[in-house]
């Protein structure tokens, strides 16, 4: 009787990612961390303005259930020039919604490289690492790196006195940066 | 051993940044690479110009000329790929250089307390006194460069 040959090769672990644009730069985010992709227009009525000078990247909040989601402007978060946003990513298991210019494409990455140690500032929180796609280096964002717990607490305090309007009854705020 | 003692003969790579020459311990040098496309993405480490792809690895480009000579390199002829020992392994950094590099053997004199942090030792070559660079002091994201200076340049066993 012939025994089946032992499987020696390990399948390559891949991860579905969304390539998105923010201020004309390409970033990647794990598809699994994005719960919904909405157009800016579809959420315009549901958002209320947030005015916290120390957090310019957050100008709107959306009420979801009994808590607020905070809309982070991706270009401002990454220190880039603000550009007109078209889409919002509602992140899974997160209180962050991400304002982006648009989706480039959905694809698969097979290797995530750690951010080299020479990068030693805020970008270490921004990115999970980098990946190489079609001979291009793409930073893979860290979904939990957009707002710290301290920043969330600050935003909660700022918005606690506001009665967040729902989509049906709010005036239309401007969602572009 | 005091700082005035001579170290053993050491292999060093001479590199040129504009008009000046510096040296790096040879065991901190992986290769000399031709200029290639620099990829840039958002970050907040001002010393990093971007990254290059080298043998499938993403290598940050750090132009150290400005801090060592006062001006950025007008022309990058090569990248000297240097390696740093980090807590979690080896880390690569691409240093733009403006000329060809040379591997030499030289006697090193350790840096003294009054020397700049970027100097780990001195060597004399063809009548020129050359600074041997403390890679950990001239590149970002390194362990405390003050600790690195205490180690011989050929064996920079520095850990966070």
B57 with B47: CB under 8 angstroms? no
The contacts of residue A34 (CB under 8 Å, 6+ apart) are A18, A89, A90, A91, A92
Phi, psi of A72 (to 5 degrees): -100, 125
Residue A117, domain member (yes or no): yes
Residue B94: closest CA among B40, B134, B58, B144: B58
Distance CA A103, CA B59 (A): 27
The contacts of residue B78 (CB under 8 Å, 6+ apart) are B32, B33, B34, B35, B96, B97, B99, B100, B101
Residue A20, domain member (yes or no): yes
Looking at residue B73, what is its pLDDT? 87
Looking at residue B90, what is its pLDDT? 86
Residue A51, domain member (yes or no): yes
| pLDDT tens, position by position, B52-84 | 999 999 999 999 999 999 988 888 889 999 999
Residue A36, domain member (yes or no): yes
Q: Which residues of B fall below an 8 Å CB-CB distance to A?
A: 39, 41-45, 47-48, 51, 53, 56-60, 62, 84, 86, 91-93, 139-142
B16 token code pair: 């040129």
Verify whether the Cβ–Cβ distance A119 to B56 is below 8 Å. Answer: no
pLDDT category at B87 given cuts 50, 70, 90 is confident
Does the CB of A12 have a partner CB in chain B at under 8 Å? no
Residue B29: closest CA among B83, B110, B87, B86: B83
Q: Which 3 state secondary structure label does DSSP give A129? A: strand
Count of the separate structural domains present in chain A: 1
Can you list the domains of chain B with their CATH numbers? 9-142 (2.40.50.180)
Which has more pLDDT, A76 or B5?
A76
Verify whether the Cβ–Cβ distance A130 to B51 is below 8 Å. Answer: yes
Q: Look at the alpha carbons of B147, B156, B6, B32 in this order and tell me if their dihedral is positive or negative.
A: negative
Verify whether the Cβ–Cβ distance B42 to A135 is below 8 Å. Answer: no
B58 token code pair: 């993403």
Which CATH number does the domain housing residue A151 bear? Answer: 2.40.50.180
pLDDT category at B5 given cuts 50, 70, 90 is low
Does the CB of A170 have a partner CB in chain B at under 8 Å? no
| pLDDT tens, position by position, A30-55 | 999 999 999 999 877 788 899 888 99
Residue A6, domain member (yes or no): no
In whole angstroms, how far apart are CA B90 and each of A6, B133, B146?
Answer: 34, 18, 20
The mean predicted confidence, pLDDT, of chain B is: 86
B4 with B100: CB under 8 angstroms? no
Alpha carbon dihedral B135, B137, B143, B147, in 10-degree steps, equals: 100
- State the ipTM, two decimals: 0.83
Looking at residue A148, what is its pLDDT? 96
pLDDT category at B30 given cuts 50, 70, 90 is very high
Percent of all residues in chain A with a pLDDT value above 90, rounded to a whole number: 72
pLDDT category at A7 given cuts 50, 70, 90 is low
Residue A3, domain member (yes or no): no
Residue A87, domain member (yes or no): yes
Nearest to A120 among B42, B53, B141 (CB): B141
Residue A95, domain member (yes or no): yes
Phi, psi of B21 (to 5 degrees): -115, 145
Q: What is the mean pLDDT of residues A84-112?
A: 96
Inform me whether the pLDDT recorded for B34 exceeds 70: yes
């Amino acid at each position: 009787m012939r025994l089946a040959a032992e499987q020696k090769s390990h399948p390559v672990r891949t991860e579905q990612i969304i390539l998105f644009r923010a201020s004309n730069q390409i970033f990647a985010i794990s598809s699994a961390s994005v719960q919904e992709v909405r157009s800016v227009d579809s959420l315009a009525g549901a958002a209320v303005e947030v005015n916290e000078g120390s957090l310019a990247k957050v100008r709107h909040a959306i009420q979801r259930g009994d808590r607020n989601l905070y809309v982070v402007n991706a270009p401002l978060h990454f220190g880039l020039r603000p550009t007109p946003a078209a889409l919002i990513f509602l992140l899974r298991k997160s209180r962050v919604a991400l304002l982006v210019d648009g989706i480039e494409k959905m694809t698969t990455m097979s290797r995530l490289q750690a951010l080299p140690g020479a990068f030693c500032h805020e970008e270490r929180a921004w990115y999970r690492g980098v990946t190489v796609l079609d001979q291009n280096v793409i930073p893979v964002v860290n979904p939990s790196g957009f707002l710290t717990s301290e920043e969330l607490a600050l935003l909660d305090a700022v918005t606690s006195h506001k009665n967040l309007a729902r989509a049906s009854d709010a005036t239309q705020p401007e969602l572009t940066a | 051993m005091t700082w005035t003692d001579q170290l053993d003969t050491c292999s060093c790579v001479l590199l040129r940044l504009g008009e000046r020459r510096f040296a790096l311990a040879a065991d901190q040098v992986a290769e000399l690479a031709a200029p290639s496309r620099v990829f840039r993405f958002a970050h907040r480490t001002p010393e990093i110009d971007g990254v290059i792809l080298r043998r499938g690895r993403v290598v940050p480009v750090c132009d150290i000329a400005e801090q060592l000579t006062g001006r950025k390199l007008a022309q990058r002829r090569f990248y000297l790929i240097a390696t740093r020992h980090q807590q979690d392994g080896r880390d690569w950094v691409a240093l733009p250089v403006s000329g060809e590099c040379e591997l030499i053997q030289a006697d090193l004199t350790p840096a003294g307390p009054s020397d700049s942090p970027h100097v780990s030792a001195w060597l004399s070559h063809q009548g020129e006194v050359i600074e041997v660079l403390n890679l950990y002091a001239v590149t970002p994201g390194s362990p405390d460069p003050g600790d690195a200076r205490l180690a011989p340049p050929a064996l920079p066993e520095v850990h966070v």
